[in-house]
Structure 1
Amino acid sequence: FPCLVFALGVVNVLLTTPLWVVNTRLKLQGAKFRNEDIVPTNYKGIIDAFHQIIRDEGALALWNGTFPSLLLVFNPAIQFMFYEGFKRKLLKKQTQLTSLDAFVMGAVAKAVATTLTYPLQTVQSILRFGRHRLNPENRTLGSLKNVLYLLRERVRRFGLMGLYKGLEAKLLQTVLTAALMFLVYEKLTAATFRVMGLKHSRTH
């Protein structure tokens, strides 16, 4: 199951990254940056953003941030791994999972996965924005070399905790959603087993 999640995640990244790149640039347009390495943008809309990016930076710029995005596909895999690990341990002590069990384990699993991968999400956002005077001899902004460079620069400027700026908001955004998702997942699984006439005693 985690392998299927990973494969679907890779396909999703490759298909949707151009939309995320344009979305990120439009959202940050007009923002004031303290970092002089960032070049401001001036897009009239979605179509104009696509046109300017392809004209000025090349079509491949639409896939800026693909490398960290592909690494972030491991986020749901990590999430499911921890969730299944928690569930197996708990089911050794009791015969059923309650709704509260599924909710709490889902929340904790997502919190762990998000915390582990958050530095990559920060770099991903920078690369998607793309207007960064970074290593002019290497315009492949999504390369491993530049990902590591951005991580080092963030630590140099803001310290180790700079890699986790905004983590609290991200956790609030994702943890509750994941907890509810696992709760619904367990309920639907139990209902499916009942309809099929199979024994399934994990939740109640």
Structure 2
Amino acid sequence: MAGQSKQVRLSPWGSALAGATGAVLANAMVYPLDIVKTKIQVQVKSRKETNDAVSQATPHYDSTLDAIHKIVQAEGVGGLYSGINGALIGVASTNFAYFYWYSIVRAIYMSSSRASKQPGTAIELSLGAVAGAIAQIFTIPVSVVTTRQQTQTKEDKKGLLETAQEVVHGEDGWPGLWRGLKASLVLVVNPAITYGAYQRLKDILFPGKTNLRPWEAFVLGAMSKALATLATQPLIVAKVGLQSKPPPARQGKPFKGFIEVMQFIIEHEGPLALFKGIGPQVLKGLLVQGLLMMTKERMELLFTLFFAFVRKLKDERLKKYAEKAATTAKTSLPVTLK
């Protein structure tokens, strides 16, 4: 009707696509931090210094800068982007699945008779956890393959499919692609904590404000991700240990669960080692979550405009087709009646 504008809402598929696009852009910008934190988290340095050939051949990273320096020195700048294709596929699939299922789960909850106008923090955390759990089941194989790629040596570099085949042909077979699933399911609380903390910090720091400026969304996203990472870091380290090749001290024997990984780390490196890689992990989380929160709404706006444009073209094409069909029927009518 005249004077009324029809608002175009993104479907769960469109919202998922926007979220995945924003996540890919954010992770691509900070990927070197991702590979550094993975390499630091899988290394095991015993409190009793060893001098065997394996230990001497494996570089040890003392810090983020030290890791960057040694990776570039050994593999060139390209070493900082090893496995980026699989990583971005994993980021895209994980975030697409998360935002897709979150939209559906939230819509189901809001359509129920028990739903209030605005879900509380506990409900938001629960909805995020359910969506994250469903997403992990479908996307964890990509995470396993990416972790293997990121921890490969320069001499043992393999492509995405080759690495997947190596996992499948290993001791676990096809189920090996789902290694770390239990830890991943527990880790769904990470995005849930992040989102819940984001909403709570928003209410505290910017009460009553609906539309945040880009820098405000960035700061809130970074702060919320830092809190979630500190709370779940031991599980993150255990998950990486499960998905990578077992350390030399295990003599090729894979871990059976994330509790066993934690026990091994504590035994060889001490309890604080459960937080190894926390520096690049937090820094990466700060940047990724900040950029994601800052760009996701813009991506949703762009996709909304894009889908509206596509729908308009489709409507115009259907209209022209109907007019052409009507004209054809009109001109052929006298012939039919003769």
| Residues 103 and 179, structure 1, Cα contact 8 Å, conserved in 2 | yes
CA shift for structure 1 position 114: 1.6
Q: Per-residue CA shift, 1:39-97, capped at 9, x if unaligned?
A: 73244544343233223212111001211221122212211111111222333332536
Which of 128, 150, 156 is the matching residue for 1:128?
Answer: 150
Residue 176, structure 1, aligned to residue 208, structure 2: no
Q: Which amino acid aligns with 1:111?
A: A
CA shift for structure 1 position 3: 4.1
Share of identical aligned residues, percent?
A: 23
Residue 116, structure 1, aligned to residue 125, structure 2: no
- CA distance 1:189–1:58, change in 2 (3 Å): closer
Q: What corresponds to 1:11 in structure 2?
A: 25
- CA distance 1:44–1:182, change in 2 (3 Å): closer
The structure with the larger Rg is: 2
Q: How does 1:14-53 map to 2 (within 5 A)?
A: 14-30=28-44, 40-43=58-61, 45-53=63-71
Gaps of 5+ in 2: 1-14, 47-53, 211-338
Q: What corresponds to 2:110 in structure 1?
A: 91
Partner of 1:73: helix, strand, or coil? helix
Which of 156, 162, 165 is the matching residue for 2:176?
Answer: 162
TM-score by length of 2: 0.45
Partner of 1:113: helix, strand, or coil? helix
Mean Cα displacement is larger for which, 73-82 or 91-100?
Answer: 91-100
Residue 68, structure 1, aligned to residue 81, structure 2: no
| Residues 40 and 131, structure 1, Cα contact 8 Å, conserved in 2 | no
Partner of 1:121: helix, strand, or coil? helix
Partner of 2:58: helix, strand, or coil? coil
- CA distance 1:103–1:21, change in 2 (3 Å): closer
CA shift for structure 1 position 183: 5.0
Count of aligned residue pairs for this structure pair: 181
Take 1:92 and 1:23, find their aligned partners in 2: how far apart are those partners?
42
CA shift for structure 1 position 27: 2.9
Q: How does 1:175-194 map to 2 (within 5 A)?
A: 175-182=188-195
| Residues 102 and 186, structure 1, Cα contact 8 Å, conserved in 2 | no
Q: Per-residue CA shift, 1:17-49, capped at 9, x if unaligned?
A: 2122222223333469xxx9xx73244544343
Q: Per-residue CA shift, 1:109-162, capped at 9, x if unaligned?
A: 10111221111111211222231643xxxx6x5xxxx11111122112111211
Residue 151, structure 1, aligned to residue 164, structure 2: yes
Gaps of 5+ in 1: 197-204
Q: Per-residue CA shift, 1:183-203, capped at 9, x if unaligned?
A: 56778999x9x777xxxxxxx
Take 2:111 and 2:201, find their aligned partners in 1: how far apart are those partners?
22
- CA distance 1:61–1:90, change in 2 (3 Å): same
| Residues 30 and 41, structure 1, Cα contact 8 Å, conserved in 2 | no
Q: What corresponds to 2:245 in structure 1?
A: none
| Residues 13 and 66, structure 1, Cα contact 8 Å, conserved in 2 | no
Take 2:112 and 2:147, find their aligned partners in 1: how far apart are those partners?
42
- CA distance 1:49–1:176, change in 2 (3 Å): closer
- CA distance 1:77–1:51, change in 2 (3 Å): same
TM-score by length of 1: 0.70
Q: What corresponds to 1:78 in structure 2?
A: 97
CA RMSD of superposed structures (Å): 3.4
| Residues 103 and 180, structure 1, Cα contact 8 Å, conserved in 2 | yes
| Residues 30 and 40, structure 1, Cα contact 8 Å, conserved in 2 | no
